Structure 1
Amino acid sequence: MPTETLRGRRRELAELDRLLADVRGGRSRVLVLRGEAGAGKTALLDHLSSAAPGPAVRAAGVESETEIAYAGLQQLCSPLMGHLDRLPEPQREAMAVGFGLASGPAPDALLVGLAVLSLFAEAASDEPLLCVVDDAQWLDRMSEVILTFVARRLDAESVALVFAARSPGDERLLTGLPEMRVAGLPDADARALLETVLPGPIDERVRDRIVAETQGNPLALLELPRGLTPAELAFGFGGPGPGPVAGRLDQDFQRRIAELPAETRTLLVAAALEPVGDVPLLWRALERLGVPPGAAGPAEAAGLIELGARVRFRHPLVRSASWRSTDAAALRVVHRALADVLDPHQEPDRRAWHLAHAAAGPDAAVADELERSADRALSRGGRAAAAAFLERAAELSPDPKPRATRTLAAARAHFLAGAPARVPELLAAAEIGPLDPLGQAGVERLRAQAAFWLNHGRDAARALVAAARRLEELDLPAARETYLSALGAALHTGRLGDGDARLVAEAARAVAPGDDPAGLLLTGLTTWVLDGFPASVEPLTRALAALDARENLGLVWIGVPVAHELFDDQAWNRLTAQAAGFARETGIRSMLPAMLTFRAGALVLAGRLDEASELVGEADTLGRATGLVAQPSGPLNLLAYRGAERQALDLMEPIERDALAREEGRLVALAGHNKAVLYNGLGRYPEALHVARQTIAYEDLGFWHWGLIELIEAAARSGSAAEAAEAAERLRERTGPAGTNWATGIQSLADALAGPPTRTERYFREAIELLPADRLSVMVARARLLFGEWLRRENRRAEARSELRIAYESFSSMGAAGFAERAGRELTATGETVRKRGTSAREELTPQESQIARLAVAGRTNPEIGAVLFLSPRTVEWHLRKVFAKLGITSRRELAGALA
């Protein structure tokens, strides 16, 4: 539709003009147009493309290609592939393999996403780039994930990325991106548009009824009256009520298609099923179908399709109406013709997909082709596509054994693609066919893993135990790993599990021990559950020493709480640093949000709250882009130490409520511990004592002694000396066998608060000396705060000022506002005037600017910094210029000194 005919779109056009102005000015913009079918989204995209200040690339989601990995992304990026050679080699290889242009190990989606981001930046290096994606609701899953990820990272590249998505629909699609709702036209504009297509004068009341029934939908106004007489129009298109506009438009297009000659209808179906718009390919298929070139005439005359350099339908509803109005037998004939003219070497997957839809019944040869396509999809990282190929391969397998094997493989691919809800139904189908004992055990294991993913409650642990028992005679390492998952699930259920951990541990103990990290962790945790903490220290210590996150990333989820349990700050720091670094470098999308959250927790205790905040924000962004939910431990710990009460409670309360409903007892302990930290930091000791009591009611792995520490402080400050002393003795049962500096220092702090008054000062000084100042600086600052408070109460004001001043400065520089205010109040009580610290230029840097500056000081180039932070080099350069301006410097050489 020409721009001048866009009636009633002043607001929308003004927003698009602002978007183009920003892009011309050097900034990137992202926008999602949402509206019902026919609302005018495509027309707005046409306007945008015609006004683009530089090159414009365009793609559209295609309903029949939603299961083909990277289909939409490849369509969008194809015109830009001339810039591929300018990308760093890992990104170039990831994109080439993902798009099927080269062979190699399956690339992770994050690395492909970074490659797309870099490709856009390179294409926009000379003039602004416009990227338009229509019908985003029909993008394949991999393209949607990557484009959402890229949209969140665009900043200073002069790129506009604009989507159009149908609404109502899946509102989670492209969630969190800037949106513009495209509604129907105002009544006056709707009436004027309608007048342009009416066959003659009609009653004004009928006209108003049409406007009302279409709700101002432009396509409905233009299309529905076509071919109808005034008499027919008088009855509102023959229907008694308005109904959904999209459904009525689809029916109208089907009616108009049905009036076309049979050969023309076949042409439309073939064009609809060939989503690339390849005109020569379409004509070759039509030749096989006996359709002459002249068959296009009636469809073009009716304004339903344009056949130029590419095939273009008037509207996506015409495409869908074409094949929806065709019976299954005729569709199979067209699919077969398209498969016959596709090159099996150049387009093996699309050809296999057409062959699959052409099959009227079981076909072993086609099933084999689909299985090979699934392998290729997996090699490109397309797990969702592989699952779709395998499902169809199973349906077409005449032999029950391959059918069962392929169904099980499809279930596994769905699980790995992050769609566990699809797994139970497929596993039930797989069990019908003959599976060998290993396959049956695999069914049970996958069913339990999916159940744990969907609900971390009690049922998952029991199902995993059943699967582990089946695996004992078939695959002992897999049995140990499954037992470890079962024990981890039971420990996660915690206080809500009614002894499940003990039952799992007893079953696991019967298995021969292993000397790999999973086997060592299983032995140590089994000992912890059955024999108690002291007996478990030695085997768990050996397990942590053997655990390298770069080689066993999948075990970090259980290794981190074990490090907490052993008071092993060195292992905790090593594992989280390895895990976050390795997951980021390799772009392991499924693991990265959790690993970043684990690392954030370690940084909070190290007093590096700003860095922790960066990682929490990145994990949240990745989680929203990929649909993966990160652990809440990092953000909870961060908010608790920052003293952000309202934000912390708003996050804690739904976590506690959902944890109880889902039988996830460990999350109850997590929320309780952090609530106690929050209240202790704010100096509200009775409230801290109340939640700490609830937290230690069950010995959760890695949390119980954390709760004891908070209880001791709260009880001592609330006047409950006996309760504090009892808790300090219970803590000694853990700190004594652990024997690390962290354990010994924490015990000294507990004894200072709850032990004999004659030894209080000695214990405080021991705690400050023993606690590792680099990895646990928050705890060192808390020890100084408590020591200073005690000294003030002993009327040793000068000494108290010294300790409190250090604590106040430490907490303030960390950003631990709650504890800083508490230290400030105590310092004021000693007679010292507390002045709030001024804000330096360095402190005015945003978390992202700080991280970029630190990486630049470390000698990283802009592309290397971009690869670490998933930013384009141009955005890194833009942020560095802002850093230089804030710090008053002009080059990287001056950065180290300015940040020191």
Structure 2
Amino acid sequence: MILGRSVEQARIDGLLADARGGTGGALVIRGEAGIGKTALLDHAAVAGADLRVLRGVGIESEIEVPFAGLHLLLHPYLEHVDALPRPQGKALRAAFGLVDADTVERFLIGAATLSLLSELAGDGPLVCLIDDTQWFDRASADALLFAARRLRQEPVAMLFAVRDGTGHFPAEGIDTVVLPTLDRDSAIAMLNERARGLAGPTRARILTEARGNPLAIIEFTAALTDRRHGDDHGWSLPVEPLPVATQVQDAFRARIGELPEPAQRLLLLAAADDTADLTVLLRAAERLGLTAADLEPAEHAHLLTLSADTVAFRHPLIRAAAHQGAPRGWRLAAHLALADTLTGDQYADRRAWHLAAAATGPDENAADALEQAALRAGQRGGSAAVAIALERAAQLTTDPDRRARRQVGAARAAYDISRLDRAAGLAAAAADVSADESLLAEAAWIRAQVAYERDNPATAAALMLDGTAPIVGSHPEQAVSILTDAIGCAKDACAHHLVHRAAQLLAKVSLPPGSALRPVVEGMIGLDDLFNGATRSAVAGMRKLVAAAQDGQVRGLVERVLAGYLALVIADDQAATEVLDALAADVRRQGALGWLPYALEPLAIAQLLRGRFRDAGTTVAEALAVSTDLGQETQALIMNAIPAWLAAVADDADTCRSHAEVILRNEARHPTNAALATWALGLLDLGRGRFDTAADTLDAVCAGPARQDFLIRAVPDHVEAAVRSGQATRAARHLPALDDWADHTGQPHAAALARRCHALLAAGPDAGTHYDAALRLHQETDRPYDHARTALLYGAWLRRQRRRTDARTHLTDALTGFERLGAHGWAARARTELAALGSRPVARSHDRDPAARLTPQELQVVRLAAGGLSNRDIAAQLFLSPRTVGHHLYRAYPKLGITKRTELARFTL
């Protein structure tokens, strides 16, 4: 019976009931040491006896070993790995060291964990109970949290017990309960169970000092009872109140201090490794002159338990007391004995850490061993282990350049797992000790990437430029990579002077003949030309990068993202879609989930600009969900501009403004997307007929620093708003820039937008000529939104010219297009114009489109299913479980009016 935990037990019981009913969920149980977390996990194990129970525990000494915790939890079920999608199965085996593989993407392990749990749940509901999760290695914790956040359609319950004040377990997005101390009645009941006959003052003292902590009640009772019976372990309660866990640990330390010295040293040896392997422990003990018999006093004192081949501490605080309370010389000897014992290849990582723990100063052998451990961890996708191992290796290194190289490697790994402060600190430390220009440039790059997340892209770009200038002549490929990233950041910041500085440095780079980076250099210099008004040469340079990316000649992820972006700048939206679609597919295939939002953001913009609003909404919804899950705060922030723009088209004012406000409150974090959000607000006002306000808002976009990239496309909206508000002169202000862009890009849809603007400003028959030309150009490009906007304006103009039949044709076309797109405000404008002609209402085509009823993820799943992919293949692409995919299809079929998969082929989705 667990006292004082009825609320928490009920919550756990509810989680188990949900799993039995087919719905998954996760719960984090937090609290101080001894507060009863393990007891609640034990309750879950008993209450879930009819479920398959998976149980794991974090081991402090293995916190540096990547996927150690996950392996402990899942290794009994590895025969099921063959049922996983092949890349996931291979990644999971590599993570567990069962097969050799190139570097594994850590998020692919999370997807594999989710798939394996789903596979196991196919035989019936299961519950995962994980104790001391704060000691799970970061790679295991990330994989389990990835799965836990996607369990909704799986009959899987996950419970994590986390001790506060030690370790780290970032469980954002998971329901959490913090265990309170026991109420007084429950504490008294527990004390009565342990020692009903204690004298009143002793009982009061225990209750006061234990402060409702169950373990403290148990241990203080044992200690004071022993003292009363003359078995004095030398422990007494402190005069000043200390944290309860500290008091309990002190109690354990006092009991350990009463053991014979050999028993204390053997207890320390067990604490130093804590892997429960009795054979390893006894082999190491022999090196210290100890024997198995020396364990007996500790066992008799109930400090640890022994079996045929394992040894375990009764509570983690006993282990901490045994290790922390021992003399330093004993600790060093224990770690050295373990290092000398663990000589096999399978023990290489543990041996490296024991060598490091035994070092009393710089030790290159230990540093080399840790660096090799980091290399192995990196190949298995354990970035956290890489960071920890390389940082410790650097501390043991005397040579400044070798130390700096290890610090930079640790910084890069820390950045990869979003430990931004640690990454910046390590990079700065490396810069302080090394004179190697390449290392300094890499360190500056890492600090810049942290600045992008924490500060703003302009600061990031400036740091990259300062760090790269010295290596332009000596390390050309490294220089191009960093400078390309710098230009991307400077572009985001609208810091054109920094783009120019980077382009000047790129012009000095001497690349080998035929280098794949040559188009990258030309594309980046082309962007600088654009910002300096040299549109012709700018477009030519940027086209070279776009074409190279389309041909698969560009490999770097940053470079491919920027190639897609430059395609938007030169109005080649089809090429942008192709480049970014291919990039997103590669990222999914590799399991590089952290890169997915960076590919999906410009892809969603490309879809938006092409009038593929449903696609854009689906893409940005996934990007927002992934970036939020991964803690990519800046990326999640800036993507609010896209749903703001889509909501403006849909005349959803509340959604538009709420998304726009999110990014505009943080405008310095990403001025370009802030300008996109401002365009959205102007578009909302334009669609609602608030032309003066719209003209002011849109003028800020068209005159602002972001005007020279894809936001040049806001000019037609500004022209329309200004003309409709009677400001013809103001309306023409930005038209020359649009004409220049349309002329040099040579894209029909760009020319169509320019023609529409000239039609709005023209007088007499010239307006009709421009409108006709614009519509012909629209017909070449399949741009439904732009076509409908032009048809609406042309129809309104024709109505005013009393050409009623022609007006009705174009207005009907506009209404049909707007209804199909869900552009409700613009559809209302078209209806108003038709009503002025006395026309009857036109049926809303979007009401007959079943796909409009699907959620973004349902639409995504249905499209892939319609393309012939199985649920398992779809799950692998979308980082979901097959059961979740099936759930989305189950919900989608009634909305589409179908009952089986083969019927999907008749839909245009």
Q: Please, what TM-score do these two structures have when normalized by structure 2?
A: 0.89
CA 650–314 in structure 1, closer or farther in 2 if over 3 Å, else same: farther
Change in Cα spacing, 1:792 to 1:16, as seen in structure 2 (3 Å) is farther
Q: 2:693 aligns with which of 669, 673, 687?
A: 687
Contact kept, 8 Å, 1:481 with 1:518, in 2: the verdict is: no
Task: Kindly indicate whether the alpha-carbon contact (under 8 Å) linking 1:725 and 1:755 is maintained by their aligned counterparts in 2.
Answer: no
Q: Give the C-alpha shift of residue 158 in structure 1.
A: 2.3
**Range with bigger deviation, 53-62 or 293-302:** 293-302
Q: 2:620 aligned with 1:599, yes or no?
A: no
1:488 Cα offset (Å):
2.9
Please tell me whether residue 869 in structure 1 is matched to residue 878 in structure 2: yes
> In structure 2, the residue corresponding to 1:771 is in which secondary structure?
helix
C-alpha distance 331-752 of structure 1, shift in aligned 2 (>3 A)? farther
Looking at structure 1, the residues matched to 758 and 167 of structure 2 have their Cα atoms a distance apart, in angstroms, of: 57
Shift of 1:672: 1.8
Classify 1:320/1:746 alpha carbon distance in 2 versus 1 (closer, same or farther; 3 Å).
farther
| SS of residue in 1 equivalent to 2:352 | helix
> Residues 749 and 781 of structure 2 are in contact (CA less than 8 Å); yes or no, is this contact kept in structure 1?
no
Give, in angstroms, the shift of residue 176 of structure 1. Answer: 0.8
Residues in 2 aligned to 1:148 and 1:818: alpha-carbon distance in whole angstroms: 42
2:232 is aligned to none
Query: Is the alpha carbon distance of 1:528 and 1:602 closer, same or farther for their aligned partners in structure 2, counting shifts above 3 Å?
Result: closer
Give runs of aligned pairs for residues 720-759 of structure 1, distance below 5 A. 720-759=727-766
Identify if the C-alpha distance between structure 1 residues 614 and 603 changes in structure 2 by more than 3 Å, giving closer, same or farther. same
Q: Deviations over 1:308-343 (max 9, x none)?
A: 464443433333333232343322222222223324
CA drift of 1:695 comes to: 1.9
Task: Look up the equivalent residue of 2:684 and give its one-letter code.
Answer: L
SS in 1 for 2:69: helix
- Work out the CA distance in 2 between the residues paired with 1:208 and 1:792: 92
Contact 1:642–1:818 (8 Å) recurs in 2: no
Distance 1:878 1:672, change over 3 A: closer
Aligned to 2:530: 528
Q: Equivalent residue of 1:462, what SS?
A: helix
Structure 2 counterpart of 1:48? 44
What CA distance in whole angstroms lies between the structure 2 residues aligned with 1:258 and 1:809? 85
What residue in structure 1 maps to residue 410 of structure 2?
A: 410
Q: Give per-residue Cα distances to partners, 1:515-566, cap 9 Å, x unaligned.
A: 6232222331232244532331212222211124773322134223322221
Listed one character per residue, the Cα deviations across residues 91-131 of structure 1 (whole Å, up to 9, x for unaligned) are 22111112211112111122222221222122222222222
Q: Is the 8 A contact 1:534 1:737 kept in 2?
A: yes
How far the C-alpha of 1:48 sits from its partner, in A, is: 1.0
Alpha-carbon deviation of 1:753?
2.5
Q: Give the Cα separation in 2 of the matches to 1:35 and 1:246.
A: 11
**What code does the residue aligned with 2:869 have?**
R
- What are the residue-to-residue correspondences of 1:159-170 with 2, within 5 Å? 159-167=156-164
Do 2:702 and 2:711's aligned partners in 1 also have CA atoms closer than 8 Å?
yes
Post-superposition shift, 1:231?
11
Stretches of structure 2 that go unaligned for 5 or more consecutive residues are 229-234
Residue 851 of structure 1 corresponds to 860
- For the 8 Å contact 2:487–2:499, the answer to whether it is kept is yes
Residue 160 of structure 2: SS of its match in structure 1?
strand
Deviation at 1:571, TM superposition (A): 1.7
Counterpart of 1:218 in structure 2 is 214
Matches within 5 A, 1:771-786: 771=778, 776-786=783-793
Is 1:194 aligned with 2:191?
Answer: yes
* Aligned with 1:675 (options 649, 666, 681): 681
Specify which of 766, 773, 780 is matched with residue 773 of structure 2. Answer: 766
Are the structure 2 counterparts of residues 512 and 339 from structure 1 closer, same or farther at C-alpha, using a change threshold of 3 Å?
closer
What percent identity do the matched residue pairs reach? 36
Give secondary structure in 2 for the equivalent of 1:360: coil
Cα distance in 1 between the residues matched to 2:878 and 2:318: 43
Query: Residues 59 and 792 from structure 1, CA distance in 2 versus in 1: closer, same or farther, beyond 3 angstroms?
Result: farther
Cα displacement (A) at 1:446: 4.3
Tell me how many residue pairs correspond in the alignment: 888
Shift of 1:508: 3.8
The offset of 1:790, in angstroms, is 4.1
Aligned equivalents of 1:763, 1:146: Cα separation in 2: 58
Tell me the alpha carbon deviations over residues 624-660 of structure 1, each in whole angstroms, 9 at most, x when there is no partner: 3332343655442223222443333333334233333
Question: SS state of the match for residue 26, structure 2?
Answer: strand
Q: 1:607 to 1:731 in 2, by over 3 A?
A: closer
- 8 Å CA contact 1:129–1:160 kept in 2: the answer is yes
- Runs of 5+ in structure 1 lacking a partner? none
CA distance in 1, matches of 2:192, 2:2: 15
Aligned-partner Cα distance in 2 for 1:655–1:526? 26
Give how far 1:6 is off. 0.8
Q: CA deviation at 1:593?
A: 1.8
- Give the structure 1 partner of residue 353 of structure 2: 353
Asked whether the equivalents of residues 206 and 220 of structure 2 are also in contact (C-alpha less than 8 Å), the reply is: no
For residues 907 and 769 of structure 2, what CA distance do their matches in structure 1 show?
A: 40
Work out which of the residue numbers 103, 107, 111 in structure 2 matches 1:106. Answer: 103
The separation in 1 between residues aligned to 2:248 and 2:629, in whole angstroms, is 33
C-alpha change, 1:296 and 1:475, in structure 2 (3 Å) is same
C-alpha displacement of 1:889: 3.8
Corresponding residue SS for 2:703: coil
What SS class does the counterpart of residue 162 from structure 1 fall into? Answer: strand
Q: Who is 2:660 aligned against?
A: 652
Change (3 A) 1:133 1:830: farther
RMSD: 3.3
* In structure 2, C-alpha distance between the alignment counterparts of 1:830 and 1:191, rounded to whole Å: 85
The answer as to whether partners of 1:23 and 1:160 remain within 8 angstroms in 2 is yes
Bigger drift between 738-747 and 620-629 goes to 620-629
In structure 2, how many angstroms separate the alpha carbons of the residues matched to 1:457 and 1:425?
A: 19
Which range moved further: 313-322 or 864-873? Answer: 313-322
Distance, in Å, in 1 between the alignment partners of 2:686 and 2:416 is 42
Check whether the contact 1:411–1:422 (CA below 8 A) recurs between aligned residues: yes
After TM superposition, list the pairs within 5 Å mapping 1:505-524 onto structure 2.
505-512=503-510, 516-524=518-526
Cα 1:317–1:803 shift into 2, 3 Å: farther
Q: Is the 8 A contact 1:576 1:602 kept in 2?
A: no
Paired residues of 1:375 and 1:386 also in contact (CA < 8 A)? yes
1:397-428 per-position Cα deviation (integer Å, ceiling 9, x unaligned): 34444333333333333344443433443344
**Aligned partner of 2:739: which letter?**
R
Query: Which residue in the other structure is 1:280 paired with?
Result: 279
Question: 1:140 maps to which residue?
Answer: 137
Asked if structure 1 preserves the Cα contact closer than 8 Å seen for 2:490 and 2:496, the reply is no
Once the two structures are superposed, what CA deviation does each residue of 1:357-393 show, in whole Å capped at 9, x if it has no partner? 1222222222222222122112112222122222222
**Partners of 2:805 and 2:327 in 1: how far apart?**
91
Cα pair 2:91 2:108 within 8 Å, conserved = yes
CA deviation digits over 1:409-455, x for unaligned, max 9?
Answer: 33333344443433443344434556544444444444444444543
Once residues 616 and 95 of structure 2 are traced to their aligned partners in structure 1, the CA distance between those partners, rounded to angstroms, is 32
Q: Indicate how the Cα distance of structure 1 residues 230 and 415 shifts in structure 2: closer, same or farther if over 3 A, else same.
A: closer
Letter of the 1:182 counterpart: L
Distance 2:825 2:169 in 1: 36
Residue 265 (structure 2) aligns with: 266
User: How many angstroms apart in 2 are the aligned matches of 1:821 and 1:207?
Assistant: 78
CA distance in 1, matches of 2:163, 2:825: 46
Q: 1:528 & 1:840 partners in 2: Cα distance?
A: 42
Q: 1:139 to 1:896 in 2, by over 3 A?
A: same
Q: Secondary structure at the match of 2:592?
A: coil
